[in-house]
Amino acid sequence: QVQLVESGGGVVQPGGSLRLSCAASGFTFSSYSMHWARQAPDKGLEWVAVISYDGSNTYYTDSVKGRFTISRDNSKNTLYLQMNSLRAEDTAVYYCVKDLGRSGSYLRGDYWGQGTLVTVSS
Amino acid sequence: QSALTQPPSASGSPGQSVTISCTGTSSDVGGYNYVSWYQQHPGKAPKLIIYEVTKRPSGVPDRFSGSKSGNTASLTVSGLQAEDEADYYCSSYAGSNNPNVFGTGTKVTVL
């Protein structure tokens, strides 16, 4: 069965950096686009970024452009999110999301991980 | 990119139907057939229940259906059951510059 397990969350000071990882199993990781989405405490969902099946195309929401980088290692079945210059408003549970397709930037998230909490606070 | 507009809450008795709206613009909901709907129970990850406006993933009951008219998409849950009580979010493709936007979310209560 499909499993997505996020790790790397924690508490970081404003301006700091963090790298999230998502270990994927139960499907052919290299054949699907992957997304990151987030949810601030007691708030709604927000889409963050997407990467195509081969890593050749990436897209971001405006609020993280220039600060976050999505990447993948298909040999390790792992998705990453490098987060720099973190702000208090980046505090959220970050979800790794598998897409139904291999390319395109639209979200059709058929499997979600359980999420990892990132807290940006001094 | 502003969030899509959903009603904060909706409710119905068991067996009844409830419809949730998701209003955007011609740049997102109205411009593309890439509207999805997600169900989220408290403390759990979201679950895809509708994609590409009307399609249901395997395993999702046919009590869940989606539609779109103009800039507004809708999710209808027929034959409400206790386990349908959850938060529901729509999402839409919004173009390559800022590709995806979620709705504000709707809490469905089964009376």
- Tell me whether residues A45 and B89 touch, CB distance under 8 A: yes
- Tell me whether residues B93 and A107 touch, CB distance under 8 A: yes
- Tell me whether residues A44 and B89 touch, CB distance under 8 A: yes
Kindly indicate the confidence band of residue A104, based on its pLDDT and cuts at 50, 70 and 90.
confident
Residue A18's CB is within 10 A of a number of other CB atoms, namely: 20
Closest B-chain CA to A62: B98
Q: Determine phi and psi for B60, rounding to 5 degrees.
A: -85, 125
Residue B57 has pLDDT above 90, yes or no: yes
Kindly state whether A105 is in contact with chain B, defined as any CB-CB distance less than 8 angstroms.
Answer: yes
The predicted model gives A75-98 an average pLDDT of 98
3-state secondary structure chain A: CCEEEEECCEEECCCCCEEEEEEEECCCHHHCCEEEEEECCCCCEEEEEEECCCCCCEEECHHHCCCEEEEEECCCCEEEEEECCCCHHHCEEEEEEEECCCCCCCCCEEEECCCEEEEECC
Distance from CA of A76 to the nearest CA of B (A): 24
The predicted model gives B50-76 an average pLDDT of 97
Kindly indicate the confidence band of residue B20, based on its pLDDT and cuts at 50, 70 and 90.
very high
pLDDT tens digits along A34-86: 999 999 999 999 999 999 999 999 999 999 999 999 999 999 999 999 999 99
Kindly state whether A70 is in contact with chain B, defined as any CB-CB distance less than 8 angstroms.
Answer: no
- Tell me whether residues B51 and A100 touch, CB distance under 8 A: yes
